[in-house]
């Protein structure tokens, strides 16, 4: 029976899941290792330390959004269709993301302690807002578009917190619907 090689990405995904559901500081290296069927010492073969796991986790999610969601703004679709596609992908992501939004969670838990984390989180929300604003500018003024984008992201983030508490899917989906009604 060959020893299974655990990929870095596999460990990262397990770590992300734990960070989201039980918090960063409340997740130990042993917890992460357990999830991967490893022993805690083995994780250090893949990552220098716990901080590096957190950092790569933030980058991983941020890049996922860049590649799979924010990139939609440049597709050859109508304003409404672009927004619809982004909202659908965003809703799908968060409906299935147990524990909510990693970047928002680490923003409250860790960012005041770690400037490197904070910079990534700030950038994530900035890029997200710019993505939506760019699309909305096709129908609104620059200022109105920015305000709508910002408000949507805030409302969605608040709604994700509520979704984690109450499990009410419809209320989460309403947020995207209301944005779509505006174009």
Partner DNA sequence: GTCTATACACAGATAGAC
Partner DNA sequence: GTCTATCTGTGTATAGAC
List contacts with its own copies (CB under 8 A): 21-26, 99-100, 104-105, 107-113, 118, 121-122, 125, 147, 150-151, 153-159, 161-162, 164-166, 171, 174-175, 178
For the bound state, the minimum distance from the C-beta of residue 79 to DNA, rounded and expressed in Å, comes to 46
With tokens 């069927």, the residue in question is 37
Residue number, 44 or 64, with CB nearest to DNA: 44
For the bound state, the minimum distance from the C-beta of residue 69 to its own copies, rounded and expressed in Å, comes to 17
- Other beta carbons within 10 angstroms of residue 2's beta carbon come to 4
97 binds, among its own copies, DNA, none (CB under 5 to 8 A by kind): none
Residue number, 130 or 151, with CB nearest to its own copies: 151
What burial letters (b/e) apply to 105-142, b meaning 16+ CB within 10 Å?
Answer: bbbebbbeebeebbebbeebbeebbebbbbbbbeebee
Residue 110 CA to residue 175 CA, distance in Å, equals 27
For the bound state, the minimum distance from the C-beta of residue 54 to DNA, rounded and expressed in Å, comes to 10
Residue number, 90 or 111, with CB nearest to its own copies: 111
What burial letters (b/e) apply to 23-57, b meaning 16+ CB within 10 Å?
Answer: ebeebebebbbebbebeeeebeebbeebeebbbbb
143 binds, among its own copies, DNA, none (CB under 5 to 8 A by kind): none
48 binds, among its own copies, DNA, none (CB under 5 to 8 A by kind): DNA
Residue 48 CA to residue 45 CA, distance in Å, equals 7
Would you tell me which residues interact with DNA (CB under 7 A)? 3-6, 27-31, 33, 37-42, 44-46, 48-51
Residue number, 43 or 104, with CB nearest to its own copies: 104
């Amino acid at each position: 029976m060959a020893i299974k090689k655990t990929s870095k990405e596999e460990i990262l995904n397990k770590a992300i899941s734990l960070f989201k559901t039980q918090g960063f500081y409340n997740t130990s290296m042993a917890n992460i290792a357990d999830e991967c069927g490893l022993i805690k010492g083995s994780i250090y073969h893949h990552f220098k330390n716990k901080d590096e796991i957190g950092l790569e986790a933030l980058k991983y999610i941020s890049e996922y959004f860049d590649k799979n969601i924010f990139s939609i703004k440049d597709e050859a679709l109508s304003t409404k269709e672009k927004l619809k596609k982004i909202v659908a992908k965003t809703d799908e992501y968060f409906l299935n993301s147990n524990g909510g939004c990693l970047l928002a969670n680490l923003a409250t838990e860790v960012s005041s302690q770690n400037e490197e984390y904070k910079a990534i989180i700030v950038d994530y929300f900035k890029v997200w807002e710019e993505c939506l604003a760019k699309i909305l500018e096709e129908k609104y003024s620059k200022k109105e578009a920015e305000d709508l984008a910002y408000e949507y992201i805030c409302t969605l983030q608040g709604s994700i917190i509520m979704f984690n508490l109450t499990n009410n899917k419809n209320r989460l989906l309403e947020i995207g619907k209301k944005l779509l009604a505006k174009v």
